[in-house]
């Protein structure tokens, strides 16, 4: 935790600020959300590290995807992820987003979440404990330090592939694509 090394602050303030002010969007995607209240309240207090839950994606720069992702929830996750703005990081909770976990053969859950949205950090475990969340957060700090937490750049770079996968999984999406894809934007004008 190099929060109070003033020199670093002056050298690269945006990276340091991003590290020590991670506002997580409070969006219950799956069974893992039951882990978040103890994390942010008295016993484990994530606010020590500057992590507080916020209500809207606009104010957030950290997206915790907690638990299995059903096909219907994926639509909401994509929409929320696209409504957040750079620099933004995603951390996937539990084994289900990694490879489907115990729902590996269910027709209704998404197996590999990173085929649809970029993920910066994974926490294994079928519902990891709060301490694991803090490990993830500190791991995320090092990633930010090394500049490897570049999920949002990957999303921008391979947006066409991401969009194609999303439409493969969900069928036609109502909202226009985030970045101009060019050849097959049917109708909707890109913003």
* Residue span binding other proteins (CB under 8 A) among the ranges 89-97, 128-136, 142-150, 156-164: 156-164
In the complex, the smallest distance separating the C-beta of residue 131 from other proteins, rounded to whole angstroms, is 15
123, 87 in Cβ contact below 8 A?
Answer: no
Distance set, CA 3 to CA 8, 13, 15, 50, 150 (Å) = 9, 11, 11, 10, 21
Q: What are phi and psi of 63, to 5 degrees?
A: -120, 110
Interface with other proteins (CB under 8 A), residue from 5, 41, 138, 185 = 41
How many helices (H) and strands (E) the chain has is answered by 8, 5
Among 2, 5, 13, 37, binds other proteins (CB under 8 A): 13
In angstroms, rounded to a whole number, what is the distance separating the alpha carbons of residues 80 and 49? Answer: 24
- Which residues partner with 52 through β-bridges? 23
Query: Among residues 128, 143, 162, which one has the least CA distance to residue 22?
Result: 143
Least Å distance, CB 127 to other proteins, is 22
Binding residue for other proteins, selected from 11, 34, 37, 55, defined by CB under 8 A: 55
Is residue 184 at the binding interface for other proteins, with CB under 8 A as the rule? no
Regarding 5 and contact with other proteins (CB under 8 A), the answer is no
Residues at the contact surface with other proteins, assessed by CB under 8 A:
3-4, 13-14, 16-18, 20-21, 23, 26-27, 41-42, 45, 47-48, 50, 52-59, 61, 71-72, 75-77, 79-80, 83, 85-87, 104-108, 110-112, 114-115, 118, 154, 158, 161-162, 165, 168-171, 174-176, 191
């Amino acid at each position: 935790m190099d929060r109070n090394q003033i020199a670093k602050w002056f050298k690269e303030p945006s990276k340091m600020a991003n590290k020590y002010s991670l506002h997580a969007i409070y969006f219950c995607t799956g069974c893992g959300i039951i882990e978040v209240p103890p994390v942010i309240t008295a016993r484990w207090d994530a606010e020590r590290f500057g992590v507080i839950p916020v209500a809207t994606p606009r104010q957030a720069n950290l997206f915790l995807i907690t638990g299995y992702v059903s096909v219907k929830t994926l639509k909401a996750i994509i929409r929320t992820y696209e409504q957040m703005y750079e620099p933004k990081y995603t951390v996937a909770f539990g084994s289900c987003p990694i490879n489907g976990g115990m729902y590996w053969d269910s027709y209704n859950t998404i197996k590999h979440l990173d085929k649809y949205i970029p993920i910066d950090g994974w926490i294994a475990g079928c519902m990891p404990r709060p301490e694991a969340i803090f490990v993830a957060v500190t791991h995320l700090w090092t990633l930010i330090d090394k500049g490897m937490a570049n999920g949002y750049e990957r999303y921008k770079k391979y947006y066409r592939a991401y969009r194609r996968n999303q439409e493969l999984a969900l069928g036609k999406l109502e909202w226009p694509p985030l970045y101009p894809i060019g050849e097959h934007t049917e109708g909707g004008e890109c913003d």
